[in-house]
Amino acid sequence: MDQLSRRSLLALGAAGSVLAAAQAQAASFGNPDAPPQGAINSTPGALSEPGPRSPALQDQLPSFQNPPATDVGNSPLLWSSFNIMPKRVQGGGWARQMTAAEFPASRAVSGVNMRLGPGGIRELHWHLAGEWALMTNGRCRITMLDAEGRAYVEDVGAGDLWFIPPGFPHSLQGLGPDGCEFLIVFDDAFQSEFNTLLVTDWLAHTPPQVLGQNFGVPPEAFARIPLQDLWIFQGKEPGPLAADRAAVASGGTVPEPFTFPLTATKPVKETAAGRIQLADSRTFKVSTTIAAAIETIKPGGLRQMHWHPNADEWQYWIKGRGRMTVFDAGPRAETIDFQAGDVAVVPRSQGHYIQNTGSEEVQVLAIFKTAQYQEVDLSDWLTHAPPELVAQHFNIDPALIARFPDTPLGIQPG
Ligand code: MN
Ligand code: MN
């Protein structure tokens, strides 16, 4: 597409003659590479889909069915969803997960969506990866022991985080009356929740004589241990937090908390169009491998064009409906639709923006495998480069560039 035709079309569009202009410029609008792409460059006969299809799936991803004409190239699939992952269901709760086996675009982290009913226990266990988590519903009790023998017991609710360093033993239990649901992010793309070191497995695979000698009690004490692991099982609801804390206090107390109230923190950015809250190792000290942002975008709002120089972004859509476009060298541009439960990856340094396309707030959790959150905001950059330099790139009046937003973490109203 030549720049003149695009500019005239934009001018005509602003004047309200979008359709006529689109028809007049159909051959050149949109994808500036040849051949031009997008429905605007096609015909009704060629656009129709006479073949087999699933309306339910297609309706969830309309931008895949009808990409904007500015999309281009062969991006990998950057979308997935917990809604399409099989559950492992047991007494006490369930879990489903997305490792690199289920979602190959995720090269840095894996994700688990778990539910524990009231009293439901995720058994005492440990694993190779560090475990970061966000509570999305209800209340949960966490127990943990650090590498210096200090115990940590805490209750968390919706909006709270926890972080369990690699190899530290821990358990989770749903509290009354509603149990809990949460998202776990492992700092290893291949860590599976279905393949962790389980305390019941170890005892079942240790000779009773050794168990007796190890724990200093008669071997018969272990006559009734389970011979298969429990993983998730229905337990009794625990007593008061203070009682559990008192029971484990003799080892000493940890220097920094392993939980963090993310959604209760003061936003690092708040505008009429939304807010951004952050937790990384500068605030949530123990979370040395995972940085996180919760982005709340009001209807019509736009999370401005930006990228992250130091890590891939792994997204979990908590609520609302929206659309994201990801830009890469090539050029490539892929537009993806989202709703609650969906997951996305934006590879490191690839440009992206998010539009709230629904009628309620969008809330997206963004996860980065890094100690510190970093971003470059396009508008912030262009307003902090010499105006004449920027103006020559876009054939634009420098006075207009001076009106661009000039701070990072931007959200623009609709
Ligand atoms: Mn775990
Ligand atoms: Mn981002």
Q: Which residue has the higher pLDDT, 397 or 73?
A: 397
Residue 122 is among the residues annotated as catalytic for this protein: yes
Strands (E), 254-312: 259-260, 269-271, 274-279, 291-297, 302-307
Kindly give the distance from the C-alpha atom of residue 124 to the centroid of ligand 1, in angstroms, as a whole number.
8
Show the beta-strand stretches assigned E in 92-249: 93-98, 110-116, 120-126, 131-145, 151-157, 161-164, 170-174, 180-186, 197-198, 232-234
For residue 144, the ligand closest to its alpha carbon is 1
On whether both 109 and 255 belong to a single domain, the answer is yes
Residue 205 belongs to a domain = no
Q: How far is the CA of 94 from the centre of ligand 1 (A)?
A: 14
CATH number of the domain that 285 lies in?
2.60.120.10
252 within domain boundaries: yes
Q: Tell whether 168 is covered by a domain.
A: yes
Amino acid 40: pLDDT: 84
Whether 177 and 275 map to the same domain: the answer is no
Pick the ligand that lies closest to the CA of residue 123: 1
113 part of a folded domain: yes
Question: Domain check: are 142 and 252 in the same one?
Answer: yes
Residue 216 lies in a domain: no
Pair (239, 125) in one structural domain: yes
Q: What SS3 state is found at 90?
A: strand
60 lies in some domain:
no
Gap between the terminal Cα atoms of the chain? 28
Residue 353's domain spans which residues? Answer: 265-412
**306 catalytic, yes or no?**
no
* Catalytic-role residue among 96, 115, 122, 139: 122
Indicate the pLDDT class of residue 14, thresholds 50, 70 and 90.
very low
pLDDT in tens, 123-169: 999 999 999 999 999 999 999 999 999 999 999 999 999 999 999 99
Catalytic site includes residue 170: yes
In terms of domains, do 102 and 236 share one? yes
For residue 9, the CA-to-ligand 1 centroid distance in Å is 55
pTM: 0.92
Specify whether 353 is located in the same domain as 315. yes
Shared domain for 248 and 298, answered yes or no, is no
Active site residue 388: no
Query: Does residue 352 carry a catalytic annotation?
Result: no
Instruction: Say whether both 248 and 293 belong to one domain.
Output: no
* Number of domains the chain is built from: 2
Catalytic residue among 96, 115, 123, 127: 127
142/185 same-domain check = yes
Question: Is residue 17 scored above 70 in pLDDT?
Answer: no
400 and 273 within one domain: yes
Cα 140 to ligand 1 centroid, rounded to whole Å: 14
Question: To 5 degrees, how large is the angle CA 168–CA 174–CA 178?
Answer: 155
Tell me: do 140 and 175 sit in the same domain.
yes
Q: Are residues 389 and 293 in the same domain?
A: yes
| Burial classification of residue 163, based on how many CB atoms lie within 10 Å of its CB (0-12 exposed, 13-18 middle, 19 or more buried) | buried
27: pLDDT strictly greater than 60 = no
